[in-house]
Amino acid sequence: MKSLIRNASVAAAALVVGLTATAIARADDKPTLAFVVNGASDFWKAAEAGVKKAQGELPDYNLELKYPEQSSVAIQQRLMDDLVTAGVKGIMVSAVDPKTSTDGLNKIASETALFTTDSDAPQTKRVAYIGSSNVDAGKQAAEIAKKAMPNGGKCLGFVGLLGADNAKERIQGMKDGLAGTKIELVDVRGDDIDQARAKKNVEDALVASPDVTCMVGFYSYNTPRIYEALRDAGKLGSITVVGFDDDPITLGGVKEGTVAATVVQQPFEWAYQGMKLMAAYLKGDKSGIPAGNLIIIPTKIIGKDDVDAYAANLKAMAGN
């Protein structure tokens, strides 16, 4: 299977999914809303499609999706500062590290409408969070592991940003879901959204931890890197793989049985619903903001029997 993961240096151009020429040039004085992601990954392709769909329903706004040059708190903050300086009226962000970004995010929130997605920053003055319950997603990963390993085992996890709330919550959710079983999540290793490092982490683990019987990819690209490392080592099928998200390699692994199942999120809906929510909020309509300021888009488990229908739905959402 062929990976669609972009090289981070390509995404470093701070790709703008400008949905019309006027959106990029801003020649029409329409208010602009921006969706800012946390790093380069094909995971965000679905969000690009969601922004595009929202643009078709929000002709009075210009919508953009931006990638930071690399997955760094400082670089992401600079990107948002530049957007505010350019007059952006609302930002929805997947914060690289919410815990260390409170002051910076509050600065943005004081200058424009700030929403969070993917990884929340509840201690900030953000208006609302729209995205997954990462704790619930972690518990679903535990369900996959329990079904695949009824006799127990040792799991090793891999993730991009160990300090991000989405990572911490998925990990804790999985640990909670495994409590009282013979399965243990013994460690989780981070890679700072570095594709080469992500694969090397798996390769190193195969040598250093021969007793590990399960590997968990907590970010969208981690499962493909697990798959590739196991394939190269001739160990596909001998180690249980629990996935997150819907990279083509992950879905291919689920279909062929080398990935037990994967927990999928809905970044298309985060972007589509999120942009419409921001636009309504800016017009004074706060009815879409619930008590608690959390809008949870459910995650679900995709197993072997579900892959074809799910993949077809992805293509339909992307307009393919």
Q: Which domains does the chain possess? A: 8-132+266-289 (3.40.50.2300), 134-264 (3.40.50.2300)
Above 90 in pLDDT, residue 41? no
Q: Are 222 and 259 in contact (CB under 8 A)?
A: no
Question: What are the tens digits of pLDDT across the range 124-135?
Answer: 999 999 999 999
Q: What share of the chain is helix, strand, coil (3-state, %, to 5)?
A: 45, 20, 35
- pLDDT given at position 11: 41
What DSSP character marks residue 317? H
Share of the chain above pLDDT 90, in %: 83
Nearest-angstrom CA–CA distance, 39 and 14: 10
- Residue 9, amino acid: S
Nearest-angstrom CA–CA distance, 198 and 212: 17
Q: At what angle do helices 134-148 and 165-178 cross, to 10 degrees?
A: 40
- pLDDT given at position 182: 98
Above 90 in pLDDT, residue 224? yes
Share of the chain above pLDDT 70, in %: 91
- Token digits for 143? 């369900």
Tell me phi and psi for residue 36, to 5 degrees: -110, 120
pLDDT band at 318 (very low <50, low <70, confident <90, very high): confident
Q: Nearest CA to 266 among 96, 56, 47?
A: 47
Q: Are 293 and 128 in contact (CB under 8 A)?
A: yes
Above 80 in pLDDT, residue 69? yes
**Mean pLDDT along residues 133-140:** 98
Cα 24–chain centre separation: 25
Q: Nearest CA to 157 among 210, 224, 205?
A: 205
Q: Which long-range contacts (CB under 8 A, 24 or more apart) does 205-208 make?
A: 205/156, 206/230, 206/233, 206/235
- pLDDT given at position 317: 80
pLDDT band at 40 (very low <50, low <70, confident <90, very high): confident
pLDDT band at 29 (very low <50, low <70, confident <90, very high): confident
Name the residue with tokens 């243990």.
Answer: 184
Name the residue with tokens 């991009």.
Answer: 160
Tell me phi and psi for residue 60, to 5 degrees: -85, 5
Question: What are the tens digits of pLDDT across the range 260-301?
Answer: 999 999 999 999 999 999 999 999 999 999 999 999 999 999
Above 70 in pLDDT, residue 15? no
- pLDDT given at position 197: 98
Nearest-angstrom CA–CA distance, 181 and 174: 12
Under DSSP, is residue 211 helix (H, G, I), strand (E, B) or coil? Answer: coil
Q: Nearest CA to 59 among 7, 93, 19, 94?
A: 19
- Which stretches does DSSP call E strand in the chain? 32-36, 62-66, 90-93, 113-117, 129-131, 153-159, 183-190, 214-217, 240-244, 261-264, 294-296, 300-302
